A and B are shown apart, each in its own frame.
Chain A
């Protein structure tokens, strides 16, 4: 489903050149849940953003469902419609109601009629447990509710893959659970997911595979059991000691 080959992303700014992603290769099969962990600044977000083209990578290939993002002829908007993304800061559209947040891209990108889009939206809002807030503006919702709306918004496009970049890091602790529950449900339904998170419990319970990144490189890959009980690499051990 996703195939990354030797992906390199270099940022060059005033403060010099940063190899934020430095030769990452990985494959994610259909229905697989991959959790990416690693210390701050290790390039997790950047790698995830490369996968839906929010960040243009410098070298390598990312092939999604047979389409190579490095190919200049690829229509990135088509790819993005198939790859849902959930952000740390929710990024809901504040000038639109919850329902409109879910219908906008459906109508614009999927060209669905308003009626069909709204039906889909209400179905998804029910699924994430906030259908009664459909006509509220996002600012009236709690953080956990906003993040669930954001997940529903991404799901409304019927994506084949869902990317999560620290979806619970901006939440108050008591709201983390409700968002993770939605994600677990999604994983159970067979969604292909890549999740950057510091929620080790979630990684252990849901992940098929854990990727540990440091300084832009994949340092260790393994099943959660292997990774959490018996990591090979020193850096992974050190990291786990800090977060667990």
Chain B
């Protein structure tokens, strides 16, 4: 008997449950009066922007040269002033030889732009990436400090970790922005990244500490008994072994940081969730936008999980 024989009833059950949940949700939504407007959504990913091209001075159109979908309009005033404007061919409003005044519209230039959802996603991504990097650095140092022999260093690290882990991230972001930001005159991005990095750092520190302490004391003793210094022992013996163990919780921490980064929207950083909120104020497509925003977070986090899963398998060689 093979495995698929045994699991198919459970797969069927899973499918039935999922369909049931979907149908239930659908039914519930039908009962309230909500107008779905999915067609309004794509423009928030990318849109065709039209920008008016205007004449900067009084002058005359001397040439109109087609170039693909666009035309190049050459304007001349007097002897010295000359300008070439690019506009989309179907929006051209002037003829060759026409006299124009400053401020007249020659036509529109059309180009694809990323919509607010994509810009927000980008903000979320770089914000998480930069804070993860700083958080990793901070966490490594703090984690090592947590197992230091020096009392002061150990307690400083412990205090930092406890303060961060004992307070909500939202409050930390407020403190970073309204208190530290004001006192030290920091921009909101610096405050956002700083708060997230400090937050991640405390959790990374605990992961690193647990990883180091999970490596048996015998490893350190063996290395030290060979005459290796404490630093060499940490670098060549303990950390490489600890790293393999901390990779899964570490990546989990960074994946949650992507989600937690949505809280920086409270200090008006336009990340993915803030973009979502802004779009809703102009479209009232509340359901669609939040569902999409959630899907986008989910996409990013699950891609990352896959990547980590792949890396873990590669690392599992020596055992």
Contacts and interface: CB of A to CB of B under 8 A. Distances in A.
A87 B224 contact: no
Interface stretch (B114-122, B215-223, B294-302): B215-223
Interface stretch (B99-107, B154-162, B225-233): B225-233
Contacts of B221: 54, 85, 87, 91
Nearest to B232: A108
A84 B241 contact: no
Interface stretch (A30-38, A75-83, A179-187, A217-225): A75-83
A25 interface: no
Contacts of A80: 224-227
13 contacts: A81-B226, A84-B225, A85-B221, A85-B222, A89-B218, A91-B218, A92-B222, A94-B241, A95-B240, A109-B226, A109-B228, A137-B319, A154-B226
Interface residues of B, number: 20
B82 interface: no
Contact of A95 (B218, B224, B228, B318): B318
**Most chain-A Cβ atoms within 10 A of its Cβ — which of B218, B227, B229?**
B227
Contact of B225 (A54, A78, A104): A54
Contacts of A93: 219, 222-223, 237, 241
A76 B129 CA distance: 43
Given A108-B232, A137-B318, A91 B219 contact: yes
Interface string B208-252: 000000001011011111111100100011001100100000000
A167 to B, nearest CB: 13
Given A54-B224, A54-B225, A77-B224, 8 more contacts: A85-B222, A89-B216, A91-B218, A91-B222, A93-B222, A95-B240, A109-B226, A109-B227
Interface residues of A, number: 28
A139 interface: yes
A150 B225 CA distance: 12
Contacts of B240: 95
A11 B219 CA distance: 22
A179 B227 CA distance: 24
Contacts of B319: 94, 137, 139
Contacts of B237: 93, 104
B226, B244, B319 interface centre (most CB from chain A within 10 Å)? B226
A78 B222 contact: no
Contact of A104 (B218, B224, B236): B236
Given A108-B236, A137-B318, A77 B228 contact: yes
Contact of A81 (B218, B227, B244, B318): B227
A197 interface: no
B225 A85 contact: yes
B95 to A, nearest CB: 77
A192 interface: no
A82 B225 CA distance: 9
A29 to B, nearest CB: 22
Given A89-B218, A108-B236, A94 B225 contact: no
A98 B48 CA distance: 63
Contact of A52 (B223, B225, B228): B225
Interface string A107-146: 0110000000000000000000000000001010000000
A153 interface: yes
B300 to A, nearest CB: 32
Contacts of A109: 226-228, 232
Contacts of B216: 89, 91
Given A95-B318, A137-B319, A77 B218 contact: no
